[in-house]
Amino acid sequence: MAKFELKLPAMGEGIIEATITKWFIEEGSAIEEDHSLVEVATDKVDSEIPSPVNGILKKIVYREGEIPKVGEVIAIIETSNDIAGSETSESFETDDNDSETASGNFKKPDTEIQMPEMEYSGNITEFQSSHPARKSEYLSPFVKNLAKQRGIPISELQHIKGTGTDNRLTREDLKNYILAGRPYRFASSQLQGEIADPPQKEKSPGPGNDVGEIIEMDRVRKLIADNMLKSKKTAPHVTSFIEADVTELVNWRESIKNRFIEKEGVNLTYTALITSAVAKALKEYPKINSSVDGDKILIKKEINIGLATALTNGNLIVAVIKQADKDNLKGLASKISDLTRRARENKLLPTEIKGSTFTITNIGQYNSLTGTPIINQPEVAILAVGTIRKKPAVVNVNETLTIGIRDIVMLSLTYDHRIIDGALGGSFLNSIAQKLENFDTSEYV
């Protein structure tokens, strides 16, 4: 029997780790090639990893909720036939380096680690290593995080003998300890007067009697909550508003939309028209297409526009159109149709929700007039587009002012006041409005 190491595959540029969200197969169960084996999550995208071989799932290395890095072994599959280059002993190999050790790689010893069978009998000293218990501040953040992933409390770490400088606990020490079956796990729960775990955050008061239902946030909603809170704490938000008369644009779209579908095979949406105008405005105002790094402003080379898309489960995801300024109207319409469809089907790739430099959110689809969205960090601005409404407005007909029924849309721009002042924000917003009111239809006749 051969053993095949299933490693976390590369999932795109900039993706270095993923969270194990669900194992579809239990240890000891048979698995067929190409059948879904495990679901992993990167940011807001969930992806299924199929089994590359037929065999038995011998060992799950990373459990649900744990976070392996790309290239790390997440499971061992026992196969009946030799697979070239895959026969190996079980291992915890990784490509990253631990700053506390000469090598970040860990391999299980050739022989099984033997630890005497122990049962707590009231004498705590029989579980302790020969060195005095170390203070928690002598544990590196990496070791603390790895212990947290494995459900090992700080108090238990105090009793593991370290091989690093000044008896510090290293990655290899911790993983050897896990493979040994965590012999101090029962002792740690009996410690009295020992070094305490770090103080816990004060818990909020429990729900009162008036609460009818308690709903636990799912993983994506927790990510959204954390990101929104981080953004509000990071950037001072300011919002400017403008109305755009898009009557001519609406009439042109109505006259061409059927022919556009027949010729291009995709619907010409207002989102595509607005994205086109925004991409052109970003080229005129590159400071809007930037991010902040301390006291530095980083102007981005590419214009990558994120489109906030509501999912059927009530969550939100931002699909990214890379180099949106290089696409014509047909290209934008096709990409937007494809990305939004796959977003709602939960089929976006991790790379398709990363790298945006500016975000558009269309709140008009819910008949909202306007809004004040939160900036999608590390960007410095976000545009909200309200619903297009027919309203009476003053119009100039042959140099005569009169009242007419016009199609009006409200645009709002929320921006980071650290680097964008009202003049720049207002100028950029006005540029978008002007481009919509005088839309260049020559690129598609």
Q: Check whether the bond before 378 is cis (ω within 30° of 0).
A: yes
Query: Whose CA is closest to 308, among 376, 233, 236, 410?
Result: 376
In eight-state DSSP terms, residue 82 is -
Task: Tally the C-alpha atoms within 13 A of residue 201's C-alpha that lie toward its C-beta.
Answer: 3
37 in helix, strand or coil? strand
Query: Whose CA is closest to 140, among 98, 200, 181?
Result: 98
Angle, in degrees to the nearest 10, between helices 422-437 and 247-264: 60
Ramachandran region of residue 327, left (φ > 0), alpha (ψ -120 to 50) or beta? Answer: beta
Task: Mark whether 43 is an active-site residue.
Answer: no
Per the residue annotation, which of 82, 218, 226, 421 is the catalytic one? 421
Q: In angstroms, rounded to a whole number, what is the distance separating the alpha carbons of residues 100 and 164? A: 7
Q: In angstroms, rounded to a whole number, what is the distance separating the alpha carbons of residues 385 and 257? A: 21
Question: What is the distance in angstroms between the CA of the first residue and the CA of the last residue of the chain?
Answer: 66
Q: In angstroms, rounded to a whole number, what is the distance separating the alpha carbons of residues 210 and 230? A: 30
Q: In angstroms, rounded to a whole number, what is the distance separating the alpha carbons of residues 391 and 232? A: 34
Task: Mark whether 417 is an active-site residue.
Answer: yes
Identify the bridge partners of residue 55 per DSSP, sorted by sequence position.
31
The answer to whether 277 touches 439, Cβ cutoff 8 Å, is yes
Query: Whose CA is closest to 302, among 388, 379, 235?
Result: 379
Q: In angstroms, rounded to a whole number, what is the distance separating the alpha carbons of residues 119 and 126? A: 10
> Apex CA 328: angle with CA 325 and CA 334, to 5°?
105
Enumerate the H helices of 208-246 as residue ranges. Answer: 219-234
Contacts of 21 (CB under 8 A, 6+ apart): 39, 40, 41, 46, 64, 65, 219
Ramachandran region of residue 389, left (φ > 0), alpha (ψ -120 to 50) or beta? Answer: beta
341 in helix, strand or coil? helix
Catalytic residue list:
417, 421
